[in-house]
Amino acid sequence: MILTPIDPRTVISAVKQTVTPEAKKAKDLESLRKSTQEFEAIYINELFKAMRKTIPEGGLFEKDASTEIYQEMLDMETSRNFSKSKGLGLADAMFEQLRHLIENKMEREPFTSK
């Protein structure tokens, strides 16, 4: 039995040919959706930080480094979850404005497989 080596360039070109313009557009739109949600999460996290600064020091428990780290991690996770569940609407607004750039780009550029 004779085994012939596979040229990686032919495999890559075959994979590129299977990607349709619709699949590329869907992938780009999904990437845009995730990016806008992450941006909104960062924005919400900054709001949380600003709100926490307004709370006076003191209270029942002392604040140490571990408490601050835990609070930051909790705020970031809360921000991400808040952003994924509609949040402030900032991610949706940004997505709607930027979505047209992807759609217009796909219409202007004909699909070519290399």
CA 71 centroid distance within chain: 23
- Over range 18-24, report the average pLDDT: 78
80 is a domain residue: yes
88 is a domain residue: yes
- pLDDT level of residue 114 (50, 70, 90 thresholds): very low
7 is a domain residue: no
How many distinct structural domains can be found in the chain? 1
Q: What is the pLDDT of residues 47-89, one digit of tens each?
A: 999 998 898 877 777 788 898 899 999 999 999 999 888 888 9
60 is a domain residue: no
2 is a domain residue: no
15 is a domain residue: no
Domain that holds residue 41: 22-54+74-114
With CA atoms as reference, report the closest residue to 37 among 86, 77, 72.
Answer: 86
Q: Cα separations (Å) of 102 from 2, 24, 37, 96?
A: 47, 10, 17, 11
